[in-house]
Amino acid sequence: ELKVEQNPLFLSMQEGKNYTIYCNYSTTSDRLYWYRQDPGKSLESLFVLLSNGAVKQEGRLMASLDTKARLSTLHITAAVHDLSATYFCAPLNFGNEKLTFGTGTRLTIIP
Amino acid sequence: KAGVTQTPRYLIKTRGQQVTLSCSPISGHRSVSWYQQTPGQGLQFLFEYFSETQRNKGNFPGRFSGRQFSNSRSEMNVSTLELGDSALYLCASSLVTGEGPYEQYFGPGTRLTVT
């Protein structure tokens, strides 16, 4: 059974700083998703990473995937308050459409 | 293109009752998945339907069931509601054909409160 470990669980950072969220998973996965969730809202798709070495960037967020290490990272550059949210990684079980979500990282950007 | 829609958005039910939630996927998407989100257990997979067939099922009791119609709309049903069923129920749709990118788009969710 696929297990996902995401850390840190909580992250409080100052505006303008850089930080990285880590997502480790236990078994083979051929796709990995990153989502953002604002309080009381649904999940907003950020990135889909399809292959080893994949790197995607959107604004101040950059995600990467290392399938050999079973590790994905979400890097935040020069954080701004609007990035405050909970971020989830979710590898897809090999061979089906089931997402297994990490515990989420609650990110708070302090002015 | 319209997104994933879920109805109702909010629901209050009493223990022992049953409830039916509805999800309309993005036009052309044939896969619909359901997830339960609670503060204690996080986001958990319930089941996935593709072309009216349940392809995958999570570790939930038989009180949780679902179906998909020929137009890809899906419903999930929870019978004999328990307090622990209070949660945000999310539906996701995906294309699942060709080269991808296999985005999974989530609806706004149905917040179920069981009293």
> Do the chains contact at A97 and B55, CB–CB below 8 Å?
yes
Query: Does B96 touch chain A if contact means CB atoms closer than 8 Å?
Result: yes
pLDDT at residue number B99: 56
pLDDT at residue number B97: 65
What's the average pLDDT block by block, 10 residues per block, for chain B (115 residues)? Answer: 91 98 94 95 94 92 97 97 98 76 87 98
> Do the chains contact at A45 and B96, CB–CB below 8 Å?
no
Q: Is the CB of residue B106 less than 8 Å from the CB of residue B26?
A: no
Q: Which residues have a Cβ under 8 Å from the Cβ of B13 and sit 6 or more positions away?
A: B19, B81, B112, B113, B114, B115
Shortest distance between the Cα of A80 and any Cα of chain B, in A, equals 25
pLDDT at residue number B11: 97
SS3 A99: strand
Provide the residue-wise pLDDT of chain A in tens; the chain has 111 residues.
889 999 999 999 999 999 999 999 998 887 899 999 999 899 999 999 988 888 999 999 999 999 999 999 999 999 999 999 999 999 987 667 789 999 999 999 998
Question: What tokens does A106 get?
Answer: 């609650």
Contacts of B58 in chain A (CB under 8 A): 98
Q: Is the CB of residue B6 less than 8 Å from the CB of residue B107?
A: yes
> Do the chains contact at B104 and A41, CB–CB below 8 Å?
no
> Do the chains contact at A48 and B96, CB–CB below 8 Å?
no
Shortest distance between the Cα of A92 and any Cα of chain B, in A, equals 10
Q: Is the CB of residue A61 less than 8 Å from the CB of residue A46?
A: yes
Q: Compare CB distances from B106 to A43, A96, A104 and report the shortest one's residue.
A: A43
> Do the chains contact at A48 and B101, CB–CB below 8 Å?
yes
